Chain A
Amino acid sequence: MEINAKGIYYRDLNKMIREAVAGGERSFVLRNINGQRYIGDGIEGKVKMDLYGTPGQDMAAFMKGPEIVVHGNAQDGVGNTMDDGKITITGMAGDIVGYGMRGGRIYIQGDVGYRVGIHMKAYKDKIPAIVIGGKAGDFLGEYMAGGVIILLGMFGEDRNGRPAAGDFLGTGMHGGAIYVRGGVDEHMLGKGLKPEEATPEDMKTIRPYLKEFCQVFGLDLNGILDGSFSKIAPATHRPYGNMYAY
């Protein structure tokens, strides 16, 4: 199904999509998207959506299974509490990508905003992952409880050589792992965290994500692996257990 979304109010657009999905439609091409909120929210199952333009806030929130490709930039709140599926963004994305995400994968070729991966969580085999080709704002992986964030710092806008990760990286983190290509200065980390060099075992963990990242964007995997990765993970699963009880 192809929709020219120009000038269509978000409620009407999402209603059209929902009704089509309920009727068995599995493939969507949405053109001239600009600012419509909540696209793909709560949609379940094997649905594929190609979005051309700039989708609005909270795209793919609570999404359970579909694959969304954004040919362009996304705004804030992509994949909020997403359960399963795959999101590919060829440009950049805004703040709080993957907020409370609990499954699925998000691949962003360019830069991302602040608080990406905040409150991500994992349970058994449900391990959410975010791969960021560019650089990230502050508070990446804030309060992270599970899952994987990989920050490459390679394919975004070069901004006066600023580091891939912003300040306060992993603040309040108590699960999961953040991998940063090219390393990260310790003073940028949240309290109590220490960067470590990724082990061969770690590299085995992140390789499938990097491979898929390269597949979707047509990039060279060796060019990415040809660099050192730092891993940031909490020392225990309750690092703040004594914070309010002492």
Chain B
Amino acid sequence: MQSWNYQKDISGCGLSGLINKDGTRVGGEVIVRSIATQHDRGNGLGGGFAAYGIYPDFADHYALHIMCDDRASLAAAESFLKEAVYIAHQERIPIRLNPKITNVPILNRYFVKPRAEMEGTTFDKGLSEDDFMVQVVMKINMDIQGAFVFSSGKNMGAFKGVGYPEDIADFYRLEDYSGYIWTAHNRFPTNTPGWWGGAHPFTILDWSIVHNGEISSYGINKRYLEMFGYHCTLLTDTEVVAYLLDLLIRKHGLAVDVACLALAPPFWKEIDRMDEDRRKLCKAIRMVYGSALLNGPFAILFAYNGGLVGLNDRIKLRPLVAATKGETVYMASEESAIREICPDPERVWAPKAGDPVIAHLNPGIG
């Protein structure tokens, strides 16, 4: 008879995020302590962070973080970049070797602006700078073998890879960065490979998303996004959320709370009981954005230069806790992750399923 020493992996991704609404920047070590409290929610196959306000010297430039499998993919990516954008500065992303972080790709960053004269050639005509940069990211991720842009916003950056988040943070020297918004992810991959590109956060422009759960509607969402020029190349369901946010909020101009309504709309039985204005709105959103609905269990944190948002699926199949103290708003999978960095919050609560927790920077900040 076979003898087994089977120990179930205790699982469930972990999330943590914070925003200082007054724009105060804090070092990366704070969010690292928080996510490390949830160490056992992951299994070492993915950790990552997003940080906002970290590149004040290049605040007007898009900061491209690119991972490349080898010199050939790096050369191809760089030759494309030189054609497409002005590069104000480029460098290796500073790292510290860590024995737990292996199979490291080449990690570079480039602070760039679009070359307007390239419009109508490799790129569509009449693009805004943001649209141009979305096309740059899509072209590299789709067409250049082994090269992936994993961060492309202004004055923000994503740092991710295969490993536990505290080791990934050590590897990327996150204590050397300070930001006014931080999000963190501890991954336990279920359906898709644990590779560097598949770690969270997923980003496009300054949108970043970390996610615990499964996007069962991935196929529908992916095909919907393709109609608008977004292409999923990173083999993880969460990627669609980053592009949906860009499409709904930046391109279509939806308010953040209305976009959340599209991602996690009320059930029809709730809509039937709403007052007429609200019912009209919810009906319209469900009809227009049916293909943007995220089905399946999720707790997500998404961030952008102006704020941090937490959102659950409509029947709360993943945990999410929020807390406030002074000008800081915290959100995490577990309360302990918040208490680790804020032992005495003024208010702690579990958000209602489907109701976003939205924390904007104060007016005039950022």
**Chain A residues proximal to chain B, CB less than 8 Å:** 10, 34-35, 37, 53-54, 56-57, 73, 75-76, 92, 94-95, 111, 113-115, 137-139, 157, 159, 162, 167-168, 187
Contacts and interface: CB of A to CB of B under 8 A. Distances in A.
B349 A137 contact: no
A56 B316 contact: no
A6 to B, nearest CB: 10
Contact of B273 (A76, A92, A187): A187
Contact of A94 (B270, B273, B319): B319
A35 B350 contact: no
Interface stretch (B92-100, B226-234, B240-248, B331-339): B331-339
A132 to B, nearest CB: 13
B315 interface: yes
Contacts of B321: 94
Nearest to B315: A138
B315 A139 contact: yes
B339 A137 contact: no
Given A34-B340, A35-B340, A37-B40, A113 B315 contact: no
Contacts of A56: 334, 336
B316 A114 contact: yes
A138 B312 CA distance: 13
Interface string B345-358: 00111101100000
Contacts of A37: 10, 40
B186 interface: no
A34 B316 contact: no
Contacts of B350: 92, 94-95, 111, 113, 137
Contact of A34 (B37, B273, B347): B37
Contacts of A76: 319, 334
A138 B316 contact: yes
B334 A57 contact: yes
B352 A54 contact: no
A94 B352 CA distance: 12
A35 B334 contact: yes
B344 to A, nearest CB: 11
A75 B335 contact: yes
B215 to A, nearest CB: 20
Nearest to B336: A35
B40 to A, nearest CB: 7
A75 B334 contact: yes
Given A35-B336, A114-B353, A187-B273, A95 B319 contact: yes
Contact of A54 (B38, B336, B349): B336
9 contacts: A35-B334, A57-B334, A73-B348, A76-B319, A94-B335, A94-B350, A113-B319, A113-B350, A138-B316
A114 B335 contact: no
Given A35-B340, A94-B335, A111-B350, 12 more contacts: A34-B339, A37-B40, A57-B334, A92-B348, A92-B350, A95-B350, A111-B349, A113-B350, A137-B316, A137-B352, A139-B315, A187-B273
Contacts of A34: 37, 336, 339-340
A157 B339 CA distance: 19
Contact of B38 (A35, A113, A139, A162): A35
A162 B336 CA distance: 26
Ranked 7 nearest A-B pairs via Cβ: A35-B336, A114-B316, A34-B336, A54-B336, A35-B37, A54-B335, A113-B350
Nearest to A10: B40
A76 B321 CA distance: 11
A157 B349 contact: yes
A238 to B, nearest CB: 25
Greatest chain B CB density within 10 A among A54, A113, A159, A162 is at: A54
Contacts of A111: 349-350
Contacts of A73: 335, 348
B338 to A, nearest CB: 9
Contacts of A187: 269, 273
A239 to B, nearest CB: 20
B349 to A, nearest CB: 6
B272 to A, nearest CB: 9
Nearest to B350: A113
Contacts of B10: 37
A26 B327 CA distance: 44
B363 to A, nearest CB: 24
A56 to B, nearest CB: 6
B13 to A, nearest CB: 14
B339 A53 contact: yes
Contacts of A114: 315-316, 353
Given A34-B336, A35-B38, A56-B336, A137 B319 contact: no
Greatest chain A CB density within 10 A among B38, B349, B350 is at: B350
A113 B312 CA distance: 13
B16 to A, nearest CB: 11
